């Protein structure tokens, strides 16, 4: 059963500034689920001077983020991996093995050491800290990894059941996602984790299958583009002239302007499934559009200069979509974008 000393030993290691052991190195078995391969990638389309506006990035170093956005040619993609562990404890969102830890979510308890009643179980987790932190990451990564856990025979998640009528609940319904949900502290007799970051052929296949299932049976009508409003929802990334840009796209280019929070998943799939362009402030809400838009569609996130992210580029690559880079002026939370910068960037895809 759960070993009460493991969280304390991990905390003591940090206090003593000792090197952190590699959690994956403790696997009793590792295997290749899908092989490495080579994937053709195309650079983002952007106007002169846009790269120079980028001051900081998230989820990767500035150099790595710019590389992902601008690389052109054949890229070697890593394999999809599986790791099997024995005798693992899950305490307050953190996995522990002797001397090592792996975080799945932020701790709810200050020190994470006040043990609750536990169970012993075996199975496969398809989540990560990132997918538990951001809805967009869950939508584009956890749902793609779900089939891997499902194939193991016992798919598990620490995420609570989504609220009835929520976007997450509908996505799970449409995609047949029915994991066993864990609550409290748990001891794993056996645990399987996955390494599924690479855009190899198998992940591309799974992502395309998700799109096909989400738009199956719908009467999809082509539209020039969809602008997905963000406003001040979620983590603050406020485009001050968002409504002005949206209105001009609607009036001058025939774009549909939608508020994802005011629409159901089915409405979003119907609207975005035929969009030639998906645009709006970079963030989780754009993933609704990207995962439904057809191959060849242009994905143009409006990026804050102090918070440029390349993660949506990876998703659009999997779906055979084109990608645009347009960087606003301001900081990471409040910024503006000149209409001509957006309009001329969109013109690159005509």
Mind listing the pLDDT tens digit for each residue in 48-77? 999 999 999 999 999 999 999 999 999 999
Work out the average pLDDT over 319-326: 98
pLDDT of residue 6: 62
Beta-strand ranges (E) seen in the chain are 29-34, 37-41, 73-77, 80-91, 94-97, 100-103, 119-125, 155-157, 180-181, 186-195, 226-228, 238-239, 256-258, 277-281, 298-303, 322-323, 326-327, 329-330, 334-336
pLDDT of residue 98: 82
Cα(326)–Cα(69) distance, integer angstroms: 11
Question: Is the CB of residue 150 less than 8 Å from the CB of residue 181?
Answer: no
* Element (DSSP H or E) covering residue 8: helix 5-15
The Cβ of residue 80 has, within 10 Å, a number of other Cβ atoms equal to 23
Band of pLDDT at residue 93, cut at 50, 70 and 90: very high
Work out the average pLDDT over 293-308: 98
Query: Which residues, at least 6 apart from 338, have a Cβ–Cβ distance to it below 8 Å?
Result: 329
pLDDT of residue 21: 86
For 3-51, write each residue's pLDDT tens digit. Answer: 655 665 666 666 666 677 899 999 999 999 999 999 999 999 999 999 9
Q: Tokens standing for 340?
A: 């001509």
Cα(177)–Cα(77) distance, integer angstroms: 27
pLDDT of residue 226: 98
Question: Could you give the 3-state DSSP secondary structure of residue 40?
Answer: strand
**Nearest Cα to 156, choosing from 90, 230, 68?**
90
Work out the average pLDDT over 97-104: 90
Beta-strand ranges (E) seen in 35-157 are 37-41, 73-77, 80-91, 94-97, 100-103, 119-125, 155-157
Q: Check pLDDT > 60 for residue 115.
A: no
Work out the average pLDDT over 189-218: 97
| Residue range(s) occupied by CATH 3.40.50 in the chain | 39-77+219-347
Work out the average pLDDT over 298-323: 98
pLDDT of residue 126: 98
Percent pLDDT > 70 in the chain is: 92
Percent pLDDT > 90 in the chain is: 86
Q: Check pLDDT > 60 for residue 111.
A: no
Question: Could you give the 3-state DSSP secondary structure of residue 124?
Answer: strand
Quick one: DSSP state of residue 5?
Answer: H
Cα(8)–Cα(177) distance, integer angstroms: 35
Crossing angle of the two packed helices 62-70 and 311-318, in degrees rounded to 10: 30
Mean model confidence pLDDT for the chain: 93
Q: Check pLDDT > 60 for residue 113.
A: no
Q: Check pLDDT > 70 for residue 1.
A: no
For 222-268, write each residue's pLDDT tens digit. Answer: 999 999 999 988 889 999 999 999 999 999 999 999 999 999 999 99
User: Is the alpha carbon torsion for 128, 207, 163, 285 positive or negative?
Assistant: positive
Please give the C-alpha separations between residue 57 and each of 195, 237, 303, 305, 309, in angstroms, as whole numbers.
Answer: 23, 14, 10, 8, 6
Least confident interval from 30-39, 140-149, 178-187: 178-187
Work out the average pLDDT over 181-210: 96
pLDDT of residue 108: 80
CATH topology for 39-77+219-347 is Rossmann fold (3.40.50)
Helices (H), 239-278: 242-253, 265-272
User: Residue 2, exposed/middle/buried by CB under 10 A (0-12, 13-18, 19+)?
Assistant: buried
Band of pLDDT at residue 117, cut at 50, 70 and 90: very low
């Amino acid at each position: 059963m759960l070993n009460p000393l493991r969280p304390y030993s991990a905390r003591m290691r940090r206090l003593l500034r000792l090197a952190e052991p590699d959690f994956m190195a403790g696997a009793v078995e590792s295997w290749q689920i899908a092989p490495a391969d080579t994937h053709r990638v195309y650079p983002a389309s952007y106007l002169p001077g846009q790269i120079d506006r980028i001051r900081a990035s998230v989820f990767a170093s500035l150099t790595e983020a710019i590389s992902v956005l601008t690389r052109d040619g054949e890229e070697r993609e890593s394999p999809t991996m599986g790791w099997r562990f024995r005798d693992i404890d899950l305490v307050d969102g953190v996995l522990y093995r002797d001397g090592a830890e792996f975080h799945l979510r932020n701790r709810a308890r200050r020190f994470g050491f006040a043990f609750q009643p536990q169970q012993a179980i075996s199975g496969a987790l398809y989540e990560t800290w990132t997918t538990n932190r951001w809805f967009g990451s869950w939508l584009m990564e956890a749902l793609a990894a779900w089939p891997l856990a499902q194939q193991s025979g016992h798919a598990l998640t620490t995420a609570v059941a989504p609220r009835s009528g929520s976007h997450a609940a509908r996505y799970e319904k449409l995609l047949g996602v029915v994991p066993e949900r864990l609550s409290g502290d748990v001891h794993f007799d056996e645990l399987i984790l996955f390494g599924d970051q690479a855009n190899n052929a198998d992940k591309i296949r799974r992502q395309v299958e998700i799109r096909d299932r989400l738009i199956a049976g719908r009467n999809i009508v082509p539209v020039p583009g969809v602008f997905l409003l963000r406003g001040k929802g979620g983590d603050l990334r406020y485009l001050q002239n968002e409504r002005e840009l949206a209105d001009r796209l609607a009036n001058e280019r025939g774009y549909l302007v939608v508020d994802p929070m005011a629409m159901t998943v089915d409405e979003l799939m119907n609207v975005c499934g035929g969009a030639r362009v998906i645009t709006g402030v970079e963030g989780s809400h754009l993933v609704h559009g990207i995962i439904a838009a057809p191959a060849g569609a242009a994905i143009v996130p409006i990026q804050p200069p102090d918070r440029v992210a390349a993660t949506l580029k990876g998703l659009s690559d999997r779906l055979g979509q084109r990608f645009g880079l347009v960087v606003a002026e301001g900081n990471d939370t409040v910024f503006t974008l000149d209409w001509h910068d957006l309009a001329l960037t969109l013109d690159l895809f005509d």
